[in-house]
Each structure stands twice: as structure tokens, then as C-alpha cells.
Structure 1
């Protein structure tokens, strides 16, 4: 695939267009400057740092408000449709802990709401086409994503098997197919939601405040790790390293595709193995790991990043805006 640089999604600001620090209806949606990397998409003529600061605050507030509301709303609907089994408080606790497939569905759909939140922030607040959140091309490069997905899945599984010394042993629990259906359908949405938010909007929003790529990479990875709640040092290192590698991959490949593929593969197999070798609830409740587990995870993520970066090079994906 050759490097494709289509025409900008919308006209650039004309010289007579008023430029306001907070945008507004008088400022049209315009394409970013030409030849800039992913972290600089929100910069350009009319850029005000204060807009990025407020945008980041609004986005984080939206995460804290909308995601829990959607989660609780879906769980409440499931509770009603199932005939109100027991108290809602008890039902919600079980659902939130992923003790039932519908709890996983609600949690993952709620996190998928980060996709429209991120797109809305880029288009309505920063006045940039939302397609530049997917990649600098712009838009989602589906061929790259679909090729990167099996590469990530293969590498992560091989690392897991080599570390364990054998292919994991499985047992088949009752109702397993409900779990598998929920994981296969909704875990990719959850992974994509987190990537659009942390490696998409936060990386671009923080990145717009500095011309140094590493500012956005490190800061977005730190926020990503912190948002996973209670965790010991090694689990934080594990998640921070994943955030760093995923953000670096986005910058080097010019889009979210490889990071989404790695995140989808990791989550689908993590929850999938849990169904047949333990419980999804115990996987959901993990708050600590050891240094060896963290090292194995980081090694797997690093190999995935290297392989999908190479794949992007072979496909000649665009790394700067048209």
C-alpha cells in the first residue's frame, strides 16, 4: 500500500476568519497543518494552549461522569429485564465485579463511550476533523489494523506459552459460550475506546502543548496507568509500559491502528483464558503482580510494538498529515 495523502477534510481558515481562544461557531472546522506528526494535529493557526488545557479537563470530567453513568444505566436495565433478581445494589456489585457476562457487557460498552467523547472533543472543541483522531492520513486505515491484529495475538500468546512452559490447561465451565460471546463482541469496543481516549485525544491534547513528542507520550501513559485504580508498583509499571509503547507506536505509525490491535488482542485473550482457566471476576479484580509477570508482559508488548511498527513500514503508512 502506498502512502496516501488525500485532500484536507475541510477548508483551512481564511485570513479574514476570526480566531477565538475557545473556538465557537464563527471558527469553522479546519484540517491541521501539512506535514505534522500525530501529536501536533491540534496545533496550527489559531492555536491557543488554554484551549488544550480546558479540553483535557473537560475530557477527563466526561470520562469520570459518562462512563459510570452508562455502566450503571445498562446494569439497571439488565436487572429490570431479568425480573429484578434480589436487590439492585447486590446485583450491581456482582455486575461491576464481572461475576456475570452482562456485567462485562455493561462495563465494556461504557468504556466504548470514550470514542464519541474523544471525537466530540476534537471536532467541537478543537475544531479539527474527527477523522484525524484515527490517523494522520486521515481516517482509520483498516487494512493495517486487520493485519496487525493477528500479529499481536500470535506474539502475545507465544510469549505467554513460553513463559508458562506449555500451552495452558483449560476446563469448560457452564455457560461458557455467553462469556465468549460477550468477550469477542464487546472487548474490542472497550479496547478501542481506551485507545481513542488515551492514545488518541489525550496524546494529541497533551502533545499540542509541546513540540516535543515525548511530553505527550509519557504524560498520556501516566494518566492511563493511574486511571486503572488500586494497583501495586509492578502492576503500575506494567500498565505504564504498555501506555508508553502504545503511544510511541501511534507516533511512529501515525495512527491508532497498531495500538488498538495490541490492546484488543491482550484483552480478548486475557478475559478468554480467564473463562476457561479461572474466572473473569478474579482477572478483573487483580491489583498486584510480581516483577517477573511485569517483565514478561512488557516483553510481549515490546515485541508486538516492534512487529507492528515493521508491518506499518512495509505498508508505507503515512506518519505525517497530508
Structure 2
């Protein structure tokens, strides 16, 4: 069975899908509606109000809901859809933590190397603010809570939605594209979207969603996407913070630069050059083949003996 076909291991009634998707993903829909119908000046006031909260408390407030929503998703999958969490995670007999670690180290290494190259060339906009006590608290909060945040996003977008939409439309390309667009829209209320520009950030977020979705379909599991997403978000929290980003933390460095991202060097090159290189690295390591089948193939119901509803 391929990854999307794992949805056949449980109940798949449409009303179940609607309840689970709306209840668990409702927070992202609310954020998008908030972004669409709120005056930009009011958005700025909301972001400024959030800055008045101590950074670690603000981080906890932002991340705690993800833990409850991830637990809710698991409960609905297990008891309403009658599926195991393993079937939401991977086609393998057990979760491959080695894959999670490899993807984590790949993105962490890339982030650190490129950051310090840039820092050695021009550090004028970066302030070293490392405080051991504050950083230790931040590190503890991050390693405890970020797995829930990235876990919810991966299990919801690349897991639950990818599988159930794929089963409904009977192909793989449509859920890959749709969940990537939804992933971008889900981040539309982040302050960097207002600071940098909606379409610039959507290219980056949707491109990242496509990267994570391709990883999932080619590798037949969420492990690589989980590791990559965790490495990216942890480094974003611990390495550099700025007044205009979603994460206000006691990171090692603070950027004092005006909010801006070059469309070419900071958005298109990562999405169109760096991401494909990372996919090629993973393809070489894990011996991926049949890209067309994995990404564009049909989704057919497997023989009944290949799956059963969890009792």
C-alpha cells in the first residue's frame, strides 16, 4: 500500500472528514479570515499588543494550542475514523526516527552554514544578544513545544488531508497541490506576511508545502517532513529573531534590518534551487524511483485483505 492508500484502513465517511478537518484545522481558517477582513492598521495594533507580552510567555501562548489540537486530531483519527496513528504517519512497520534525524540535520546544517557565511560577509544588521539564562529557558520551551506545533501541521496537511483528499479524488497530484496552497493560506496571519508582502510569502510558504508534500509522497511517510519542519522552526526560534516575525524570542541574534525579502535571492532561489537540491540528496540516500507514479499516479482501493479497520 502507498501512503495515501493508508486512509483505507479506517472509516472514510465524508461527514467524518468534514468534522475532523474543520474542528482541527479551524484555527488556521480563523487566522485566514482574520487576515482578510481586518484593517491593516488593526493588524499592526494586534501585533504591537503581542510584543508587550514577555517573549517566553508569548511563545508558550502561541504553541500550547497546537498540543491540544494534535491530541484532538489523534483522538478523532483513532476513535472516529478507527485508524491507528501509525497509518497516519508511515507505510513502514514502525516510525523511522533515523529519517526524522537525517532531515532535521540536513536543514539545520544548511541554515547554520548559510547564516554564518552571511554573518561573516555583513553583520551590520545583526545584534548578538545571547543571554545564557534566557536562552536556556527558550531552548527548553522550544524542544518541548515545537514538536507539537510542527506535528499538528504535518499530521494535518501532509497526513490527514493529503490522505483523505487523495482517496476522494483518486489521484496524488491534486492533494499535493491543494494541501500546499492550504499550508500557505494557514500562515497568512503571520506578521511577516504583512511586513514582507502577501504574494512573496505565499510563494515561499506554498513552495515549502510542496517540498514537504513531495518528501512525504516519494518516501511513503511523514518522517522526513517532520524532521525538516522541526529543524527549520527550531532554528528560526533559537538563532535569529526580529520585531516583525511571528516568533519573538530570546534568540542568539536579533535582526535590526527593515522587514524585506529579496524575491530572487531569498524566495525564488530557495524554492526553485535549494529545495530541489535537498530533494535530490534525499532521493540519493533513500533510493527513490518512479517519481511520476509517486507524485502523479492514481489512488485505487487496495484488495480487502491488505487492510482492516482498527478494532
Q: TM-score of the superposition, structure 1-length normalised?
A: 0.67
- Runs (5+) with no aligned partner, structure 1: 1-35, 69-89
**What is the aligned length?**
254
Measured after TM superposition, the shift of residue 131 of structure 1 is 1.1
**Aligned match of 2:149:** 190
Question: Does 2:168 correspond to 1:209?
Answer: yes
Measured after TM superposition, the shift of residue 149 of structure 1 is 1.7
Q: Deviations over 1:9-40 (max 9, x none)?
A: xxxxxxxxxxxxxxxxxxxxxxxxxxx21112
Structure with the higher helix share, 1 or 2: 2
Question: Does 2:284 correspond to 1:310?
Answer: yes
**Aligned match of 2:268:** 295
Given that 1:152 and 1:262 are in contact with CA atoms closer than 8 Å, whether structure 2 keeps it comes out as yes
**Aligned match of 1:243:** 209
Given the superposition, is the C-alpha separation of residues 133 and 58 from structure 1 closer, same or farther in structure 2, using an over 3 Å criterion? closer
**Aligned match of 1:39:** 4
CA distance in 2, matches of 1:40, 1:104: 37
Measured after TM superposition, the shift of residue 221 of structure 1 is 0.8
Question: Does 2:220 correspond to 1:265?
Answer: no
SS of 1:284's partner is: coil
CA RMSD of aligned residues (A): 3.6
**Aligned match of 2:108:** 153
- Runs (5+) with no aligned partner, structure 2: 31-45, 248-257, 289-293, 295-301
Given that 2:100 and 2:228 are in contact with CA atoms closer than 8 Å, whether structure 1 keeps it comes out as no
Question: Does 2:62 correspond to 1:107?
Answer: yes
**Aligned match of 2:89:** 134
**Aligned match of 1:120:** 75
